[in-house]
Chain A
Amino acid sequence: MSRAVASVALVDRVQAGEPAAIARLISRAESGAAEVHEALARIYKLAGAAHVIGLTGVPGSGKSTLVGKLTEKLRAKGAKVGIVAIDPSSPYSGGAILGDRIRMSDMANDPGVYIRSMATRGATGGMARAALDAVDILDVAGFDTVILETVGVGQDEVEIVRASHTTIVVSAPGLGDEIQAIKAGILEIADIHVVSKCDRSDANRTLIDLKQMLTLGLRAAAKSAWQLPVVGTSTVSGQGIDELIVAIEQHRRFGLESEAGQQRRLAIAQFRLRKTADNLLLDRFGAAIARASAPLAAKLMRREADPYSLANELLNSSLLREPDHEQDPRSKIA
């Protein structure tokens, strides 16, 4: 494909499902260049048909392997599946090893499956900046189900719940007791709990801890009509995968038919707007703030100034005027 093609010109080709066009538009979205905004605006309006499944959990809990098995089952039912798999960027070099694809190699040649790996590139919350754009692009390209796999998370990266219609939290056996299970944070955001690696003997303990945790949440249970399933899976034996597919389908229907689902979609839209505004703010002023703050750091280190006064000074200075529009060579090519 010509490398000079304008992003807007890719939209029709994405709609036609052309793999190279899908790939290139996702790359452009990742670059964050202003040139791609118009194309992504069109994509957003065309999207909205796909069921977006968010999958999160600690590193090594088996997320990618589970995505692979789920995708096989969804394919067998005739769905086309798009996958966005996120891995971390190095905080030092900015580089990344993206290894999620390896776990999904069984359908490497199936045209009904599209896998895209993404690096976080400094984004927090378990996601990459362009992840939601990539989900929309796959949606428009005709993938009925889009699975968004976060980086391996800790306790607090919960953005995925504002980015997906159905959020699956994967817990691996042997990582904590019932106190871990009642802590705030990631375990709260699940629509479906999965305990992976149930071929291991200690998995039952984790299943029991999670189920007991759920019975403690009286208020949440009374307010919501959705009863949180806890599914034990093993990608070795195949245990629980069918059950998980049923739970996902039930939650998809619950989301479409319930008041709670309607509210969820509104919250997703609100998050999207805020996140996009945050990103544009960062684009406009992030570099300028970094430049201007470097010479002030020494003052701060010697405690001759305080961070609040300096930050206010920075923000009130000439820094926040409209920047000159960056020249993007592609914007000239129609």
Chain B
Amino acid sequence: MNSPIRVLLAKVGLDGHDRGVKVVARALRDAGMDVIYSGLHRTPDEVVTAAIQEDVDVLGVSLLSGVQMTVFPKILDQLKKQGADDMIVVAGGVMPDEDVAALKQMGVKEVMLQDTPPQAIIDTLKKLVAERGPR
């Protein structure tokens, strides 16, 4: 009885562009994953609460508004406070290269920018979950 990989896809802050995250949601669904979508305009705390309640393997945050260096520290910090810092956090969207390096430094497992093919996202998530091991 293999459980599907569970993923929470979240949009945080004022960013209202969710075409990309919906494409990703659909791709992950078609790869056999359970995908929970947060909807728009969530706060970092709300996203962490949802990720914990839903016991997801992967928390993916899509950002096209440039606030990644504000949002991700809050999310990672809150996950740590809640004892869930083993959750795999990944980022997607549009952001500068120096931010990508900084995000990975602070614990974001992967940053997938706007030109990442859907199959590459699927493969990356499968690899990260396999590395982490069973629940």
Give the distance in Å from the alpha carbon of A329 to the alpha carbon of B135 in the complex.
11
Secondary structure call for the A interface:
mixed
Q: How far is the CA of A90 from the CA of B26 in the complex (A)?
A: 11
Q: Is the CB of A27 within 8 A of B29?
A: no
B54:A96 contact, CB within 8 angstroms: no
Chain B, 46-102, CB within 8 A of any chain A CB = 46, 49-50, 52-55, 82-84, 86
What separation, in Å, do the CA atoms of A108 and B12 have in the docked complex? 13
Chain A, range 7-57, C-beta contacts under 8 Å to B? 19-20, 22-24, 26-28, 30-33
| Contact A329-B83, Cβ < 8 Å, known A95-B32, A101-B36 | no
Asked if B132 CB lies within 8 Å of chain A CBs, one says yes
* Option from B29, B82, B134 in Cβ contact (under 8 Å) with A97: B29
Distance to closest chain B CB from A94 (angstroms): 4
Contact A33 B1, CB 8 Å, known A3-B132, A19-B82, A101-B39? yes
Please tell me which one of the listed residues A95, A105, A114, A330 contacts residue B35 in the complex, with CB atoms under 8 A apart.
Answer: A95
Chain B hits for A89, CB < 8 A: 34
- Asked whether A24 lies within 8 Å of B36 as measured between CB atoms, the reply is no
Residues of A within 8 A of B35 (CB): 95-98
A23 touching B86 in the complex, CB below 8 Å, given contacts A3-B135, A95-B33:
no
Does A283 sit within 8 A of B, measured CB to CB? yes
Task: List residues of chain A with CB within 8 A of the CB of B83.
Answer: 1, 20
Residues of B within 8 A of A117 (CB): 34, 36, 54
Bound complex: CA A116 to CA B49 (Å): 11
Interface string of A84-106 (1 = CB under 8 A from B): 00000110111111110110010
A127 interface residue (CB < 8 Å to B): no
Q: Which one of A1, A28, A97, A108 lies within 8 Å of B42 (CB-CB)?
A: A108
Q: Is the CB of B34 within 8 A of A99?
A: no
Decide if A109 is an interface residue (CB 8 Å cutoff): yes
Whether B43 sits at the interface, judged by CB under 8 Å, is yes
Q: Judge whether B36 and A98 touch: CB under 8 Å.
A: yes
- Picked from A22, A90, A283, the residue with its CB within 8 Å of the CB of B29 is A90
Query: Is A131 in the interface zone, CB < 8 Å from B?
Result: no
Nearest CB of A to B86, in Å: 7
Pair A93/B31 contact, Cβ less than 8 Å: yes
* A182-207, CB < 8 A from B: none
Using A1-B83, A97-B29, A108-B42 as known contacts, say yes or no to A24 and B1 having CB atoms under 8 A apart: no
Determine the distance from Cα of A96 to Cα of B7 in the docked complex, in whole angstroms.
10
Evaluate contact between A3 and B86: CB separation under 8 angstroms.
yes
Contact pick for B86, options A1, A93, A121, CB 8 Å: A1
Q: Does B125 contact A (CB under 8 A)?
A: no
B4, CB-defined interface residue at 8 Å: yes
**Judging by beta carbons under 8 Å apart, are A98 and B1 in contact?**
no
Q: Does B15 contact A (CB under 8 A)?
A: no
Tell me whether A168 is interfacial, beta carbon within 8 Å: no
Residues of B within 8 A of A115 (CB): 50, 53-54
Known A-B contacts A102-B37, A108-B49; A97 and B86 likewise in contact (beta carbons under 8 Å): no
Q: How far is the CA of A30 from the CA of B3 in the complex (A)?
A: 8
**Contact indicator A95/B31 (Cβ below 8 Å):** yes
B28 near A: Cβ within 8 Å? yes
State whether the Cβ of B30 lies closer than 8 Å to any Cβ in chain A. yes
Question: Are B3 and A27 in contact (CB-based, < 8 A)?
Answer: yes
Closest to B39 in A: A102
A248 close to B (CB within 8 Å)? no
Greatest chain B CB density within 10 A among A22, A33, A99 is at A99
Interface pairs A-B: 4 shortest CB-CB: A102-B39, A23-B55, A95-B29, A108-B46
Contacts A1-B83, A101-B38 supplied; 10 other A-B pairs, CB < 8 Å: A22-B53, A23-B54, A23-B55, A24-B55, A24-B135, A31-B3, A31-B135, A95-B28, A95-B29, A109-B45
Residues in chain B within 8 A of chain A (CB atoms):
1, 3-4, 6, 25-26, 28-39, 42-43, 45-46, 49-50, 52-55, 82-84, 86, 132-135
In the assembled complex, 11 residue pairs joining A and B whose CB atoms fall closer than 8 Å, in A order, are A3-B133, A3-B135, A19-B49, A90-B32, A93-B32, A95-B32, A96-B33, A99-B39, A105-B46, A108-B50, A117-B36
